């Protein structure tokens, strides 16, 4: 599954992206709000992680633009702005979760898993394409009830394909 991470702090962005990639996700990293808004308008992502304090267009504006286009993509706000009013504002704009900095990578990964799990078609725990089955909780594939041993790249490709049946990728 492909995740968009938008964070202007370069070192933090790289650390988070590295952790998410190690967990098996494909991660695109951007560093400003305008680039994020363009990417979200033209690319398919399973999840967006947005910092609030972005240059050129802040995370709240990116989120408002995304929701204004009718997109239901899960969004996790990741920010140093932890005031209740900021959290309420982000959630009211349509954020699905809000995580204040500093945070533990394990918590971020758990929140990402939860958001992705809830966003899959009707909350089902498996995706199927013929004899190919993707167990979303375990993040494993099987073919004809036999487990497949996949590299992280193969896993990411199959996740992208099975999540978008009938679409050209």
Lookup: tokens for 5: 């991470």
Q: Is pTM, for the whole model, over 0.85?
A: no
Ranges for all domains in the chain classified under CATH 3.40.50.2300: 2-119
Cα separation, 116 vs 56, whole angstroms:
28
Lookup: tokens for 37: 């808004």
Kind plus residue range of the DSSP H or E element containing 21: helix 10-22
For domain 123-163, the question of CATH label 3.40.50.300 is answered with: no
- Does residue 138 have a pLDDT over 90? no
Which one has a higher pLDDT value, 155 or 7?
7
| Measured distance between the N- and C-terminal CA atoms of the chain, rounded to whole angstroms | 13
Architecture of domain 2-119: 3-Layer(aba) Sandwich (3.40)
- Does residue 87 have a pLDDT over 60? yes
Local confidence band at 131 (pLDDT 50, 70, 90 cut-offs): confident
- Does residue 49 have a pLDDT over 90? yes
Cα distances from 111 to residues 47, 55, 108, in angstroms, run 11, 25, 5
Local confidence band at 116 (pLDDT 50, 70, 90 cut-offs): confident
Beta bridge partners of 127: 134
Q: What is the pLDDT of residue 125?
A: 66
């Amino acid at each position: 599954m492909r995740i968009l991470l938008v964070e202007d702090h370069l070192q933090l962005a790289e650390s988070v992206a590295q952790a998410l990639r190690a967990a098996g996700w494909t991660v695109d990293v951007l560093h400003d709000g305008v680039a994020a808004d363009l990417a979200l308008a033209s690319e398919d992502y399973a999840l967006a992680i947005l910092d609030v304090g972005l240059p050129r267009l802040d995370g709240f504006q990116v989120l408002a633009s995304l929701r204004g286009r009718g997109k239901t993509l899960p969004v996790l706000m990741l920010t140093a702005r932890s005031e209740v009013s900021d959290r309420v504002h982000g959630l009211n704009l349509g954020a699905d979760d809000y995580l204040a900095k500093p945070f533990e990578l394990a918590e971020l990964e758990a929140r990402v898993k939860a958001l992705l799990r809830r966003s899959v078609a009707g909350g089902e725990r498996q995706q199927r394409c013929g004899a190919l089955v993707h167990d979303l909780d375990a993040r494993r594939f099987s073919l004809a009830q036999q487990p497949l041993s996949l590299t992280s790249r193969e896993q990411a490709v199959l996740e992208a394909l099975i999540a978008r049946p009938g679409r050209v990728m």
